[in-house]
Amino acid sequence: MTSSVRHNLGSFLPWPLRHIIQSIVRGVNKMTDCIFCKIVDNKAKATIGYQDDQATAFRDINPAVPTHILIVPNKHIESVNVLEAEDEQLMGHLFRVARQLVEQEGIAESGYRMITNTGAHGGQTVLHLHIHLIGGQPMKHPMG
Ligand code: AMP
């Protein structure tokens, strides 16, 4: 089910029902077509650097810089556009994971950048929310 269908559902249904349906949709998506869900579930290969019950971090298959790690929630969330209040703790957790990774990678002091692309203009190609953690060389400015 696409996000547009989810949003359409959302406009017709009361919040509790919408919440239940979105949770089911997230679960279904996790079982089917999402490459990052497959990596989280160890059904697709990736170089995983960190995993716990909420988050997984693995190396980008096409690194743009010396350190290029993707940090994802284990549950399927398509993008920032569909975040719910219940996801607040999880989003903070992704940053805590990043904090640990930059120490492991030895880039905490030299610096790094964290990016979450969203939608077509944002350049999002994988529809499972992720943070790009990039470092290991000076970043280019300006952004955009
Ligand atoms: P975005 O364009 O922000 O959606 O970023 C998606 C990122 O996922 C890109 O940098 C891809 O190189 C990366 N990617 C896609 N498939 C895989 C995979 N199987 N394992 C690791 N990284 C991947």
CATH number of the domain residue 80 falls in: 3.30.428.10
Q: Is 116 in the pocket of ligand 1 (CB under 6 A)?
A: no
121 pocket-lining for ligand 1 (C-beta < 6 Å): no
Domain assignment present for 85? yes
Distance CA 127, CA 61 (A): 16
**How many domains does one find in the chain?**
1
Query: Does 23 fall in a domain?
Result: yes
> In a structure prediction context, what are the per-residue pLDDT tens digits for the chain, which is 144 residues long?
344 344 444 456 676 676 566 556 555 555 469 999 999 999 999 999 999 999 999 999 999 999 999 999 999 999 999 999 999 999 999 999 999 999 999 999 999 999 999 999 999 999 999 999 999 999 998 888
Write down the pTM of the prediction.
Answer: 0.83
Structural domain boundaries enclosing 38 = 3-135
- Encode 20-55: b = buried (16+ Cβ within 10 Å), e = exposed: eebeebbeebbeeebebbbbbeeeeebeebeeeeeb
Specify if 140 maps to a domain: no
Inside any domain, residue 34: yes
Residue 45 CA, ligand 1 centroid: distance in Å:
13
Instruction: Identify whether 90 is part of a domain.
Output: yes
